[in-house]
Amino acid sequence: MNPATRRQIALWLFICSAMVFATVVVGGVTRLTHSGLSIVEWQPLVGVLPPLTHADWLEVFEKYKLTPEYLQVNHSMSLGEFKGIFWWEYAHRILGRTIGMVFFLPFLYFLLRRMIDRPLVPRLAGIFLLGALQGGMGWYMVKSGLVDDPRVSQYRLAAHLTIAFLIFVSMMWVALGILAERGGRGVDKSVIGLRRFGFWLVLLVLYMVVSGGFVAGIRAGMAYNTFPLMNGHVVPPEIWLPELGLLNLFNNMATVQFDHRLGAWLLAFLVPWFWLRLQRSTASTRAKFAGHVFLLALAGQITLGITTLLTFVPEPVVALAASHQGGAMVLLGILLWVNHELRVVPMQRGF
């Protein structure tokens, strides 16, 4: 690909990544406002149009009235209140479908014009398939809250959130790779060690995403709203209930929140160490600058997490909690940038 084509394709992928970020934030608001179960059908094509008439609204509302959430929680809800939760779920679904179109149509155009290098085609096709899987997972998650319990399965919610982050990671990494210079100068062992360190940090941030999905799924943030201790304990006494066994890791509020906090503490110690090693290494100036940004982003994300936790009683502050969820994606995106800068081999300059 020539430089102009590289920039076009990278820009397209960055735009798609930004749209995934917006969808994750809107999805967070949808969950926090208890809007996710307001649309009880999955209609990928017909469902693009919202209710247009009063009769349409009454029909959609009547379907919602048959759900466990209405019968057990919102039985006194008016049509006006229903519209309030409907629009958040509708916006979340429309954003997801729009991403599919914004990804697929340019991909088809670039493909037919033979503007994409052959090794890149299966990667981009894989991202599209991952997006299709995400759509199915979203409906599979919603279905779990339409049966008996008016809450979606924490397992399906965590999977839905994780796939969104994997799509984001894939798009960002491919886009960064397309823009990278190819060269021939070697790197020393300090940079190679930082590459490994950075890879493990990516896995740790993804662990935080998965554990955060379980925190959201069982509403573990509504308990232990103190910091740095958990209601006066480093390790809460309820962390292991014998009757749950290994399910404590997914169903016990104390265990789930402790695991999420543990990941945050690890990041709080490991990232400054990584930053210090990066600044002392022979890495490029851009890599060191990206390290500065990453350290600041982590400080902001941890601050958001603590503030969200402390203000979670009796209900979360929606803006704070949604910002914390979006902040995780920003943090991961910056970390991918750092890792990529560490892998770019500088061009060999002649005389």
pLDDT digits (tens, 9 = 90+) for 267-303: 999 999 999 999 999 999 999 999 999 999 999 999 9
Q: Is the per-residue pLDDT at 9 higher than 60?
A: yes
Higher pLDDT, 106 or 182: 106
Report the C-alpha dihedral over residues 5, 9, 11, 13, rounded to 10 degrees.
-170
**From CA 221, how far away is CA 219, in angstroms rounded?**
5
Q: Which residue's structure tokens are 């990494």? A: 173
175 and 190 within one domain: no
Cis ω before 314 (30° cut-off from 0) = yes
Q: State how far the Cα of 34 lies from the Cα of 318, in Å rounded to an integer.
A: 11
| Boundary residue ending a domain (179, 210, 242) | 179
Core vs surface per residue 118-147: b (16+ CB within 10 A) or e: eebeeebeebeeebeebbebbbbbbebbbe
C-alpha span between 138 and 180 (Å, rounded): 34
Kindly report the average pLDDT of the chain as a whole number.
92
Do both 92 and 148 map to the same domain?
A: yes
- pLDDT, one tens digit per residue, over 14-39 is 999 999 999 999 999 999 999 999 99
User: Is the confidence at residue 182, as pLDDT, over 80?
Assistant: no
Q: Do residue 174 and residue 267 come from a single domain?
A: no
Domain termination site, one of 141, 156, 179: 179
Task: Indicate whether 171 and 189 sit together in one domain.
Answer: no
121, two tokens: 């085609």
Whether 172 and 282 map to the same domain: the answer is no
Residue 313 has pLDDT above 70, yes or no: no
Rounded CA-CA distance 280/178 in Å is 28
Is the separation of the CB atoms in 227 and 306 below 8 Å? yes
Q: Do residue 145 and residue 225 come from a single domain?
A: no
Q: Does 195 share its domain with 325?
A: yes
Which of 150, 179, 208 corresponds to the end of one domain?
179
Q: Are residues 263 and 284 in the same domain?
A: yes
Round to whole Å and give the CA distance between 106 and 102.
7
Range of the domain at 75: 1-179
What's the CA gap between 280 and 266, in Å, rounded? 21
Which of these, 88, 81, 79, lies nearest to 61 by C-alpha position?
79
Residues 169 and 292 grouped into a single domain: no
Is residue 103 domain-shared with residue 174, that is, in the same domain?
yes
129 shares its domain with 239:
no
Q: What is the pLDDT of residues 201-256, one digit of tens each?
A: 999 999 999 999 999 999 999 999 999 999 999 999 999 999 999 999 999 999 99
Whether residue 62 is found in the same domain as residue 151 = yes
Work out how many domains the chain is built from and give that number: 2
